[in-house]
């Protein structure tokens, strides 16, 4: 038999925990710095920025205008119920907002950080009671539902709060990624280190942005996430988002199935490793599998420069979504890199031994989680 | 009219061999394809002229050739040979179309392909035993060359094995034909069952057994099958298509035309044993297929199983079972050709057919999704799922045979069920799961990170397989057309023993 497979398979690098830790502590980027990587990361984040803009607007629309709607049939239409819009929606000529919902559910389910803690707090329960009392007074269906299933409406409000918070988070990220594309076009960002620094600066700038959420019910305004809860962008939403979507994720039905009874899925949610940084770009492209929806959306808004690069590689248009997924993983490693850089307990250049030890422990914890992720995309030739 | 079915391919072969300049391979392929398309068109013309209500031979061409030895050039066609002639035309054309990038001796390759197609037509149409034998032998050497020149690494072994087995088959068949002349004391080699009626039952049995073994090697039936998996594994895909789709049918055609047709009384005597032989062949073929790890060997063993069902149908010799035998010949020809084509595509793209290595080829973007889809269709048809060719043929075989040989039929049904087992194993291993084309290493997580870069399958590469798939579904949904062609002939053949019995008791007329 001819020995073709060696040419047809490519094994990327697999850096060790120590190597990753050393790079993080030295302030080096995880992703190798090559012109092609810069192009891939900037352009894929550019299309991601456009998609996140749509996701963000829709999530905020859903949380504010479809609040506690038991049958939110038109929630993806952003309030535009014209026949043309409905036709385009039914025809599949649209952004797949289902992916945004998938991310929201991942955040809600994994429930880490300050937002989740607030959703289980007394003040939140009091807000819910007020909202439900007001809502059930006007809505007979909810009035019937609430006494039968008293946890249903509070849980729906938690989902709405997470939806709104994710919408606010993606608003910032969308603008940041589109700014990054402009900065690269201007020549102010030229390499991977500058890409990571740009994202880090954006995250740090927005770190203290308040996360609030109020709804208008019958002319009366109710707070779901009030300003006094003190929720902020970075710690309470961005970090839980990274944990839920980049790292943990959910084992979805795909071309590879998991047997939960055989403990192929860990019973400990914290051990989950199905997030974006762990996703296998190859089998995830089947119809209906959540990340493939994101790749489809990004494909609609792919910059021509990146599209031309993809056309030159392997199957051209045929496997473009696999290539987008691979580039997307590279860009997500940059975002993670920026988030880690921005959240070191102490400055990297510190001379205090205790601070150095704390930084080392922090870098070690991240390196251990990243060592089993798809780090094969980080090499210069891992395209 | 029928002579053109021989003339067209032979003429094409001569044009290729004798063309003075050295044309590029593409032009030779074009000449071969044009010739085969003409042959197929003429086969369709014969189909239009064919009267399905006649049970006997029609559209006959006749010429006294060497009368001293009883060799007459007599061609005729009936409901048994017409579908096979059509299939020969279609599948040889498919073989030529599928032959791409041939750099080694393209002139001889395409000439041999045409020669085989003409010889097979001759064998299906011959109304004279010696003429049949001539054509039967004529396809042997070209096929041997096709395997031994354009085959895989073990091609010399496989080709020689094929040659030895088939040569013995030829000797046995020739011996039986000559024995018939010797025992009857005539040199009349025309195809008529009345001849054997003059022989004692002992002589009939000797001749019949000789023919049975001769054709049993060609079909092949267990235990004479061992040449087939080797030949298939080493042959290139287009040759495998020809071998499985057309050449094996010479064996089953001979079984029905010469064993059952010439010796109906002796046939009735040995039929119960033949039914058991059929069941053994079906079960052995199916069980052996389960154990294979080479996709092509698995399909080859499935052929052994499915061809056994034709022996069962022939043994039962009822009108329905014989019609089922014709259906099974056509559907096996189409389905196995389809499977070999698809395995060929997988092999060309991945460099392996090993079921321990291949995984996840249905991957929609990096794998071979359309090839996989057709493969699933092909294995469903082979396993006899309703709506496809395999169902109607197996149903007819079982329906026609169960009243005569209930136990053997039930065992064959079991074998048919095993088809689903081994083909699901094939599909599950090669097409589902995380994609892989290299042997699993000791580190599963490293395997799960391998990026695989198969080149895509162009539409033109899949078109022949798509065409055959449509035929498989078409025959499954509208089987009446083939039934209409072959029913009268099948009924006439089933009535032969009764007819002869009546004749021997002076009951005719």
Nearest one of A351, A352, A59 to A213, comparing CA atoms: A59
Nearest CA of chain B to the CA of A371: how many Å? 12
The chain B residues in contact with chain A (CB within 8 A) are 152-153, 347, 350-354, 357, 360, 362-366, 432-435, 437-438, 445-446, 448-456
- Residue A176 exposed, middle or buried by CB count within 10 Å (0-12, 13-18, 19+): buried
Packing angle between helix A35-65 and helix A152-186, nearest 10 degrees? 150
How far apart are the C-alpha atoms of A106 and A340, rounded to whole Å?
21
Burial B372-406 (b: 16+ CB within 10 A, else e): bebbbbbbbbbbbeeebbbbbbbbbbbebbbebbe
Interchain pair A283, B350: CB under 8 A? no
Q: Give the largest Cα separation in chain A, rounded.
A: 76
Please tell me the distance from the alpha carbon of residue A355 to that of residue A344, in angstroms, as a whole number: 10
Contacts of A14 in chain B (CB under 8 A): 446, 449
Binary contact (A322, B365; C-beta < 8 A): yes
Within a 10 A sphere around the Cβ of B355, how many other Cβ atoms?
A: 18
Taking CB atoms and an 8 Å limit, are A322 and B366 in contact across chains?
A: yes
For residue B456, the chain A residue with the least C-alpha distance is A315
Task: Look at residues B161, B339, B173, B143 and name the one whose alpha carbon lies nearest to residue B247.
Answer: B143
Chain position carrying tokens 């154990």: B291
Q: What is the pLDDT of residues A230-248, one digit of tens each?
A: 999 999 999 999 999 999 9
Q: Show Cβ contacts of residue B92 under 8 Å, excluding neighbours closer than 6 positions.
A: B9, B36, B39, B113, B114, B116, B117, B120, B242, B246
pTM of the model: 0.90
The SS3 call for residue A193 is helix
Contact assignment for B437 to A5 by CB distance below 8 Å: yes
Q: Which residues does chain B have within 8 Å of residue A5's beta carbon, measured at their own beta carbons?
A: 350-352, 357, 437-438
Which residues, in sequence order, are bridge partners of residue A214? A223
Asked if A282 lies within 8 A of B366 by C-beta distance, the reply is yes
- Which residues of chain A make contact with B456, given a CB cutoff of 8 A? 315, 318
Residue corresponding to tokens 């080829």: B361
Residues of chain B with Cβ-Cβ distance to A319 below 8 Å are 365-366
- Do the chains contact at B366 and A256, CB–CB below 8 Å? no
Residues in A whose CB is inside 8 Å of some CB of B read 1-6, 8-12, 14, 255-256, 280-283, 285-287, 314-315, 318-322, 326, 372, 374, 376, 382
Separation CA B7–CA B182 (nearest Å): 33
Kindly list the residues from chain A whose CB atom is less than 8 angstroms away from the CB atom of residue B101: none
Whole-number pLDDT of residue A256: 61
The residue of chain B with its CA nearest to that of A279 is B449
pLDDT at A383: 45
Backbone φ and ψ for A223, nearest 5 degrees, come out as: -85, 135
Q: Which of A5, A318, A321 sits opposite B351 (nearest CB)?
A: A5
Closest CA of chain A from B95, distance in Å: 21
Nearest to B453 among A12, A256, A314 (CB): A314
In chain A, residues with a C-beta closer than 8 Å to the C-beta of B364 are 285-287
- Which of A256, A285, A372 comes nearest B434 by C-beta? A256
Cis before residue A238, ω within 30 degrees of 0? no
Contacts of B451 in chain A (CB under 8 A): 9-12, 281-282, 326, 376, 382
Q: How far is B165 from chain A (nearest CA, A)?
A: 25
Spatial separation of the C-alpha atoms in residues A223 and A277, rounded to whole Å? 35
Considering only CA atoms, which of B118, B92, B88, B102 is closest in space to residue B239? Answer: B92
What is each CA distance from B188 to B76, B180, B211, in whole angstroms?
17, 9, 18
> Quick one: CA dihedral B134, B138, B139, B143, positive or negative?
positive
Q: Which residues of B touch A282 (CB under 8 A)?
A: 360, 363, 366, 434-435, 451-452
DSSP per position, B259-271: IIHH-HHHHHHHH
- CA nearest A255 in B: which residue? B433
Contact A282 B363 (CB under 8 A): yes
* Residues in contact with B210: Cβ distance below 8 Å, sequence separation at least 6, in sequence order: B172, B173, B175, B176, B179
Whether B147 contacts B237, CB under 8 Å: no
How many residue pairs bridge chain A and chain B with CB atoms within 8 Å of each other? 93
DSSP state of B74: E
Query: Residue B453's closest chain A neighbor by CA?
Result: A8
Residue partners of A130: CB distance under 8 A and separation at least 6: A222
B365 DSSP assignment: T
Among chain B residues, CA nearest to A253: B433
Q: Are B207 and B179 in contact (CB under 8 A)?
A: yes
Choose, out of B451, B455, B462, the residue to mutate when testing the contact with A (most A CBs < 10 Å): B451
Can you tell me the distance from the alpha carbon of B110 to that of B98, in angstroms, rounded to the nearest whole number? 12
Looking only at the bridges linking them, the beta strands covering A213-217 and A220-225 are antiparallel
3-state secondary structure of A132: helix
Contact B72, B65 (CB under 8 A): yes
Check if the beta carbon of residue B166 is closer than 8 Å to that of residue B217: yes
**Of the partner residues A1, A280, A285, the one whose CB lies closest to the CB of residue B365:** A285
Residue with tokens 């601070």, as numbered in its chain: A355
Residues with pLDDT less than 70, chain B = 193-195, 500-501, 503-509
Tokens of A145: 């539902």
Give the distance from residue A245's alpha carbon to the nearest chain B alpha carbon, in angstroms. 20
Residue B57 DSSP SS3: coil
Judged by CB atoms closer than 8 Å, whether chains meet at B451 and A9 is answered as yes
Please, are residues B110 and B28 in contact by the beta-carbon 8 Å criterion?
Answer: yes
Distance from CA of B234 to the nearest CA of A (A): 10
Q: Is the ipTM of this complex over 0.85?
A: no
Whether A119 contacts A161, CB under 8 Å: yes
| Token digits of residue A170 | 């993606």
CB-CB under 8 Å, B365 with A319: yes
Closest-CA residue in chain A for B236?
A: A1
A-chain residues near B432 (CB < 8 A)? 255
Structural contact between residues B252 and B244, judged by C-beta atoms closer than 8 angstroms:
no
Could you list the pLDDT tens digit for every one of the 383 residues in chain A? 445 667 788 888 899 999 999 999 999 999 999 999 999 999 999 999 999 999 999 999 999 999 999 899 999 999 999 999 999 999 989 999 999 999 999 999 999 989 999 999 999 999 999 999 999 988 999 999 999 999 999 999 999 999 999 999 999 999 999 999 999 999 999 999 999 999 999 999 999 999 999 999 988 999 999 999 999 999 999 999 999 999 998 876 555 667 778 888 888 988 888 888 988 887 654 544 567 889 999 999 999 999 999 999 888 888 898 899 999 999 999 999 999 998 899 999 899 999 999 999 999 999 999 999 999 999 875 44
Query: Which residues from A are below 8 Å from B365, CB to CB?
Result: 285, 315, 318-322
Chain A nearest C-alpha distance from B230 (Å): 14
**CA of A376: which chain B residue's CA is closest?**
B449
Q: Which residues of B touch A382 (CB under 8 A)?
A: 451
Q: What are phi and psi of B479, to 5 degrees?
A: -75, -10
What pLDDT is attached to residue A1? 43
The pLDDT, as a whole number, for residue B505 is: 66
With contacts defined as CB-CB under 8 Å, which chain A residues touch B355?
none
Contacts of B434 in chain A (CB under 8 A): 255-256, 280, 282-283
Element (H, E) at A247: none
Is A1 in Cβ contact with B352 (below 8 Å)?
Answer: yes
CA neighbor of B453 nearest in space, from A107, A342, A311, A383: A383
Contact (CB<8Å) B351/A285: no
d(CA B128, CA B132): 6
Output the pLDDT for position B476: 95
């Amino acid at each position: 038999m001819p020995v073709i497979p060696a040419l047809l398979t490519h094994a990327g690098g697999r850096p060790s925990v120590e190597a990753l830790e050393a790079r993080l502590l030295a302030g080096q980027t995880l992703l190798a710095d090559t012109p092609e990587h810069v192009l891939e990361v900037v352009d894929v984040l550019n299309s991601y920025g456009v998609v996140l803009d749509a996701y963000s607007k829709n999530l905020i629309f859903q949380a504010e205008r479809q609040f506690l709607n038991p049958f939110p049939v038109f929630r993806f239409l952003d309030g535009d119920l014209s026949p043309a819009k409905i036709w385009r929606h039914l025809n599949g000529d649209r952004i797949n907002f289902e992916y945004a919902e998938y991310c929201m559910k991942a955040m809600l389910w994994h429930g880490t950080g300050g937002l989740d803690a607030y959703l289980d707090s007394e003040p939140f329960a009091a807000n819910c009671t007020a909202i439900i009392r007001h809502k059930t007074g006007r809505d007979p269906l909810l009035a019937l539902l609430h006494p039968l299933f008293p946890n249903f409406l509070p849980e729906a409000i938690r989902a709405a709060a997470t939806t709104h918070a994710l919408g606010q988070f993606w608003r910032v990220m969308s603008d940041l990624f589109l700014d990054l594309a402009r900065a690269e076009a201007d020549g102010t960002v030229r390499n991977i280190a500058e890409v990571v620094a740009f994202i880090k600066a954006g995250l740090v700038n927005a770190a203290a942005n308040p996360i609030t959420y109020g709804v208008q019910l019958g002319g009366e305004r109710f707070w779901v996430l009030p300003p006094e809860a003190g929720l902020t962008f970075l710690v309470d939403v961005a970090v839980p988002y990274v944990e839920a979507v980049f790292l943990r994720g959910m084992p979805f039905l795909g071309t590879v199935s998991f047997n939960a009874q055989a403990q192929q899925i860990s019973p400990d949610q914290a051990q989950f490793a199905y997030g974006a940084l762990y996703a296998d770009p190859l089998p995830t492209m089947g119809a209906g599998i959540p990340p493939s929806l994101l790749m489809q959306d990004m494909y609609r808004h792919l910059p021509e420069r990146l599209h031309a690069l993809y056309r030159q590689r392997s199957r051209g248009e045929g496997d473009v979504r696999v290539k987008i997924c691979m580039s997307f993983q590279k860009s997500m490693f940059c975002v993670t890199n920026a988030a880690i850089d921005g959240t070191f307990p102490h400055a990297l250049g510190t001379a205090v031994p205790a601070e150095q030890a704390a930084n080392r422990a922090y870098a070690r914890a991240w390196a251990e989680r990243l060592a089993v992720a798809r780090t094969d995309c980080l090499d210069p030739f891992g395209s | 009219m029928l002579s053109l079915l021989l003339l067209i391919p032979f003429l094409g072969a001569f044009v290729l061999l004798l063309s003075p300049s050295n044309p590029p391979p593409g032009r030779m392929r074009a000449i071969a394809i044009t010739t085969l398309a003409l042959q197929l068109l003429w086969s369709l013309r014969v189909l239009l002229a064919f009267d399905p209500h006649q049970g006997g031979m029609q559209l006959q061409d006749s010429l006294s050739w060497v009368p001293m030895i009883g060799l007459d050039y007599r061609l005729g066609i009936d409901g048994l040979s017409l579908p096979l002639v059509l299939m020969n035309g279609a599948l040889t054309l498919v073989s030529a179309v599928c032959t791409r990038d041939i750099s080694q001796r393209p002139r001889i390759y395409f000439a041999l392909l045409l020669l085989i197609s003409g010889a097979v037509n001759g064998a299906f149409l011959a109304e004279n035993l010696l003429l049949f034998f001539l054509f039967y032998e004529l396809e042997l050497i070209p096929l041997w060359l096709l395997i031994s020149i354009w085959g895989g690494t073990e091609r010399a072994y496989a080709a020689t094995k094929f040659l030895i087995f088939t040569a013995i088959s030829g000797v046995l068949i020739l011996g039986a034909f000559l024995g018939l002349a010797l025992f009857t004391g005539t040199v009349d080699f025309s195809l008529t069952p009345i001849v054997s009626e003059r022989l004692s039952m002992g002589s009939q049995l000797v001749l019949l057994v000789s023919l049975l073994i001769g054709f049993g090697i060609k079909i092949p039936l267990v235990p004479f099958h061992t040449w087939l998996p080797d030949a298939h594994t080493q042959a290139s895909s287009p040759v495998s298509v020809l071998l499985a789709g057309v050449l094996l049918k010479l064996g089953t055609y001979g079984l029905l035309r010469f064993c059952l047709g010439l010796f109906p009384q002796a046939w009735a005597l040995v039929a119960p044993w033949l039914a058991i032989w059929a069941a053994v062949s079906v079960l052995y073929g199916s069980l052996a297929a389960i154990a294979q790890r080479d996709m092509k060997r698995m399909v080859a063993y499935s052929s052994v199983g499915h061809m056994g069902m034709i022996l069962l149908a022939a043994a039962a010799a009822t009108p329905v079972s014989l019609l089922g035998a014709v259906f099974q010949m056509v559907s096996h020809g189409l389905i196995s050709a389809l499977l070999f084509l698809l395995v060929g595509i997988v092999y060309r793209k991945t460099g392996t057919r090993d079921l321990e290595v291949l995984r996840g080829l249905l991957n929609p973007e990096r794998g071979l999704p359309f090839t996989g889809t057709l493969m699933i269709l092909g294995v469903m048809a082979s396993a006899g799922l309703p709506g496809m060719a395999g169902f109607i043929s197996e149903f007819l075989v079982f329906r026609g045979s169960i009243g005569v040989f209930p136990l053997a039929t039930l065992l064959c049904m079991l074998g048919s069920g095993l088809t689903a087992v081994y083909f699901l194993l094939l599909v599950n291993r090669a097409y589902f799961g995380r994609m892989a084309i290299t042997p699993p290493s000791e580190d599963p997580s490293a395997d799960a990170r391998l990026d695989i870069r198969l080149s895509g399958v162009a539409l033109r590469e899949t078109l022949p397989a798509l065409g055959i798939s449509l035929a498989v579904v078409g025959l499954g949904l509208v089987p009446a057309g083939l039934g209409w062609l072959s029913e009268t002939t099948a009924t006439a053949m089933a009535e032969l023993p009764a007819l002869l019995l009546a004749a021997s008791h002076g009951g005719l007329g």
